[in-house]
Structure 1
Amino acid sequence: MSHCIRLLSIAAKFSLLVFLLSAVFLCSSLSDRNPEFALTKTEESDLKEEKGKESVTEDDADAEDLEVFYPTNRWQTVHPGQAIPAGLHVRLNLQTGEKEAKLPDNTNEKSDMKDQKKRKRLDKVDIDSNSFTSQELKEALAKLKENEKTKSTMEVKANLEDVRKRFRPIEELKAEFEQLNMRIETDYEIMVKLINKFNSSDSTLDEKIAALYDLEYYVHQVDNAKDFLSLGGLQLMIDGLNSTEAVMKEHAAFVLGAALSSNPKVQIEAIEGGALQKLLVILATEQPLTVKKKALFALSSMLRHFPYAQQQFLKLGGLQVLRNLFKEKGMEALYVRVVTLLYDLIMEKMLLEGAQNNEDQMEEKVQQYSQVKLVPAVVEQDWCAIVSNLLALPEHDTREKVLKTVSVLMTFCKDRYRGDQRLNITLSMLRSEYEELAAEEQREGDKDGYFKELLGSINTIIQELR
């Protein structure tokens, strides 16, 4: 019995010895494995997956579940959960969003580092320990933006340089013009020279007339007319109306009329300077037709849209002065101009009174026009007959203007026109003439022609006189 117990004890010790030897052999074999394929601790950034997926770490997975990545000399995709051996090159593919790895090249790491930095491929970026850090990438991006900014600045400078080559600065052109005695002058400077030439005692009559001719061109502009006034030119023109030379009166009145046109400031200064009286004197006295024509032009420019001047015109007997022109021989060219002036003045007042506007300024103007008793004076001086008699003139343009004036005067002259047998005969003849002309227009395809319009005006007047 004791012998058996001893045998069992020996067998147990032997088994324990075999187990220990097996354990030692196993440890030795594990320690002799190639360390290249030993598992390394995966960086936290390497284990992040695409947005929306959970991160996998060694703490969350068992070591037996981790798949080992076997690298080659080519780039391979590293799948989530794979353990990456140490010493590999790792990069992030920006096109696919996947992480890739491969064995390191045999070339020198420093030269490989330089080659990688020289690459200009933007689709892939190495993120291993030998590649760029995040700070280096930020600096490179900042440098790239700076290069783009510098490039843009250089392009702008190049464009400016191109413009400088193609166009010359105004200062340089002015300098060259001055050398050629061709300095660019303003309208103001030109008017100063012309006024000085006209006012100079050394200038001949022809030189003064030439100066007036040029001045008329410049003073048509409103701003130039105001400058002309400030330079004293307006008063020189008013004084020129007293000249003993007819040609001087003619051109002085011409410049005066150009400066007065639609320019209230100049109109006020002119009437205060006595221009109205001097113009009426020229029209009332014996003067060449050319002089009276320019004087009538200046008078019309002064009266239009200026009720105060119209009122003074009536007080000074201006309407009678114009009526007397129809009694002078050789003044037929002025007839239509006078009738047109009367038509404009009457319509000007009628349109203003018919306008519905409660503004203070408009009410003040209506009050000013109410003091202009033009129509009563026209009726009193029998302008009704003077105007209607002009329908006998042969020119169509003249008849058109006369017909408009007769239509305006119809309200005030209806009784006078109904008893005028001569007018009735003239209207009947004109209707027959323009019926034929209007029919011819229509045959030619002009349904709303000029003669049809005149025929309509004649028919309207005849209808009102019945």
Structure 2
Amino acid sequence: MRPVLVRSWTVILFVASVVTAIEPSATEQAQTETEVICPSDGGQCYPAVFEATDRWQEVLPDQAIPGGLHVRLNFESGRRQAKLLSNDDSEDNVGVVVVSEGGSAEVTNDEQSVAVEPDVWGQSSYSHKPNPHISLSEHEEFENNLAFIISSFNFERTEAEPKKDDGPLGSSALQSVESNLDADEHELLIAAMRNIEDFSHEIDFGIKLAVPEVISVFMTLVNTHSSPSVRALSARIIGSSLRNNEPALQIAVTSQVVSNLLESLDQEQDPEVRSRIMFALASSIHGKYGRREFWEHKGGDILRNYFFSVIPDEDYMGRCGTLVEDSFVNDMMNSHSSNSPSDTTQSELKVELGLWCSAFQDALANDNIASMDVREKIFSALSAMKLSYPTYCPIQDNFRQWIALKVEQRTALRRQKHEAQEALSSSLSAVDGQRSDLDNTPGQEMVFLDKLSTVRHTLFGNPKAGRKALDNYHDEL
């Protein structure tokens, strides 16, 4: 397997320290204490076992690290550093994020300290106790893969930098830098990013990825890299690190993740990458800061640009439905029920939900969405809006006509099956010939038609008319 080489770069970040927990046996220690490592290039030999002090020192290549030390990765050199444990060192240390009005935010965890720009939106704090079950090898693998990604990113930026007379570096220059990596290096970059994506679901690693110096790398890759695979993986890493991770969301507050993702979405042409950006956006928009940023940057208008595209992207349309339902209906209702202050005025919410209400009704009424799953997501979002904010979601004539047509279709199918069952019960010879259209209707679609029939009048029309229609249906059977 080709080794991962870490180039140097300008960003300096010490990730959270970890404690080695495995003590070598007395025999192993005696064998290695007398051994030395001599570099093949003729450099000076050094002990095979790292000799720790109470200060951070660099661990030289191939040196063994005794148990019971603090170990961290220096992202500037790409090498590990270690030192003896002090009285203040403990695996039970709690990382704390504090953001104050007009002040600064600091992420602390033992030796980790990351400065963050002032939070202009208010004050919040969050504490997190690191997971002690994450092994040292997992921390090292995470750090090595992340270091390789950042070094590749900075190498590409350096190679793409214009000469002094060429003006500032723009996105067009970055979009052509993939050629600076050969095929093997590009594959290594993809492999490293997939490994980081696997790690990003863990809260502790998500917190490390949310640090401004790190998340900005992935946001830039989403926005400018020439490879769709790199852009898609970068978006997935952002989304996975922030999803259901309140500490990471708090740390990422000042990085303007939502506005950067909206910018990427607005210019992205690849459907697969757009889907991944939607996932990242849905993960980052939760909470009052994310929603406010979404509103301030006209996020709804950007999302609807592709929702109404000439060639519909059904996966994207379904993701819009899920995002609106989760982030602007359910999440807002939960905020109100917990007596949390609303970050969005009722007038803003009314306008935004009204636009989506109209968009979802038009999408369903056109009756050209092939995916039943996408239809379910859009109808679910529409129903949630109408149920939670009925006055914000007026029902259109084209949607009433569509739902009436679907309910009539359902009634006809049910009647056919009822008649077929009666014929079968009176004549056994009809077993092979009597089949209704309902038998050829997919089960998921029939469930969808049943749902439309149930809520047609109670949610989208007159409840009294709904009871009458239900009575007529039973009379027909």
- What TM-score, normalized to structure 2? 0.50
1:352/1:330 CA distance change after superposition, 3 Å: closer
Please, which of 447, 454, 465 is the counterpart of residue 460 of structure 1? Answer: 454
1:368/1:437 CA distance change after superposition, 3 Å: farther
Q: Verify the 8 A CA contact 1:218 1:224 in the aligned structure 2.
A: yes
Cα displacement (A) at 1:349: 4.0
| Distance (whole Å) between structure 2 residues aligned to residue 226 and residue 400 of structure 1 | 34
- Unmatched runs of 5 consecutive residues or more in structure 1: 1-168, 356-361, 444-448
1:231/1:218 CA distance change after superposition, 3 Å: farther
| Distance (whole Å) between structure 2 residues aligned to residue 374 and residue 173 of structure 1 | 68
Please, which of 288, 300, 314 is the counterpart of residue 307 of structure 1? Answer: 288
The match for 2:329 is 347
Q: Verify the 8 A CA contact 1:391 1:403 in the aligned structure 2.
A: no
Instruction: Report matched runs for 1:149-228 at 5 Å.
Output: 171=24, 185-201=136-152, 204-228=185-209
Q: Which amino acid aligns with 1:427?
A: K
Q: Verify the 8 A CA contact 2:372 2:444 in the aligned structure 1.
A: no
Of structures 1 and 2, the one with the larger relative CO (CA 8 A, separation 6+) is 2
- For each residue in 1:135-175, what CA deviation from the matched residue of structure 2 results, as whole angstroms up to 9, or x when unmatched? xxxxxxxxxxxxxxxxxxxxxxxxxxxxxxxxxx9745996
| Distance (whole Å) between structure 1 residues aligned to residue 202 and residue 27 of structure 2 | 26
1:194/1:430 CA distance change after superposition, 3 Å: farther
Cα displacement (A) at 1:240: 1.9
| Distance (whole Å) between structure 2 residues aligned to residue 272 and residue 187 of structure 1 | 28
Cα displacement (A) at 1:181: 11
Q: Which amino acid aligns with 2:454?
A: T
Q: Verify the 8 A CA contact 1:192 1:231 in the aligned structure 2.
A: no
Q: Which amino acid aligns with 2:457?
A: Q
| Distance (whole Å) between structure 1 residues aligned to residue 247 and residue 405 of structure 2 | 45
Cα displacement (A) at 1:218: 0.3
Instruction: Report matched runs for 1:10-25 at 5 Å.
Output: none
- For each residue in 1:243-271, what CA deviation from the matched residue of structure 2 results, as whole angstroms up to 9, or x when unmatched? 33233222111111110101123224434
- Unmatched runs of 5 consecutive residues or more in structure 2: 1-21, 33-47, 49-61, 66-134, 156-180, 425-442, 463-477
The structure with the largest alpha-carbon Rg is: 1
| Distance (whole Å) between structure 1 residues aligned to residue 229 and residue 415 of structure 2 | 46
Aligned residues: 283
> Between Structure 1 and Structure 2, which shows a larger proportion of strand residues?
2
Where 1:320 maps in the other structure, the secondary structure is helix
| Distance (whole Å) between structure 1 residues aligned to residue 366 and residue 140 of structure 2 | 47
The match for 1:399 is 375
- For each residue in 1:323-372, what CA deviation from the matched residue of structure 2 results, as whole angstroms up to 9, or x when unmatched? 111233352221111111111123324532663xxxxxx43x34335579
Q: Verify the 8 A CA contact 1:237 1:256 in the aligned structure 2.
A: yes
Cα displacement (A) at 1:316: 0.7
The match for 1:127 is none
Q: Which amino acid aligns with 2:456?
A: I
1:285/1:398 CA distance change after superposition, 3 Å: same
The match for 1:253 is 235
- For each residue in 1:60-112, what CA deviation from the matched residue of structure 2 results, as whole angstroms up to 9, or x when unmatched? xxxxxxxxxxxxxxxxxxxxxxxxxxxxxxxxxxxxxxxxxxxxxxxxxxxxx
2:233 is aligned with 1:233: no
Please, which of 387, 406, 410 is the counterpart of residue 431 of structure 1? Answer: 410
Cα displacement (A) at 1:285: 1.5
Q: Verify the 8 A CA contact 1:438 1:452 in the aligned structure 2.
A: no
1:380/1:292 CA distance change after superposition, 3 Å: closer
The match for 1:298 is 280
- For each residue in 1:409-461, what CA deviation from the matched residue of structure 2 results, as whole angstroms up to 9, or x when unmatched? 33246643346454244433553477489989xx9xxxxx9677534421233
- Alpha-carbon RMSD: 4.1
Q: Which amino acid aligns with 1:397?
A: D
The match for 2:300 is 319
Please, which of 366, 376, 379 is the counterpart of residue 351 of structure 2? Answer: 376
| Distance (whole Å) between structure 2 residues aligned to residue 216 and residue 438 of structure 1 | 50
Q: Verify the 8 A CA contact 2:360 2:378 in the aligned structure 1.
A: no
Where 1:287 maps in the other structure, the secondary structure is coil
| Distance (whole Å) between structure 2 residues aligned to residue 174 and residue 325 of structure 1 | 66
Cα displacement (A) at 1:384: 4.5
The match for 1:85 is none
Percent identical residues: 17
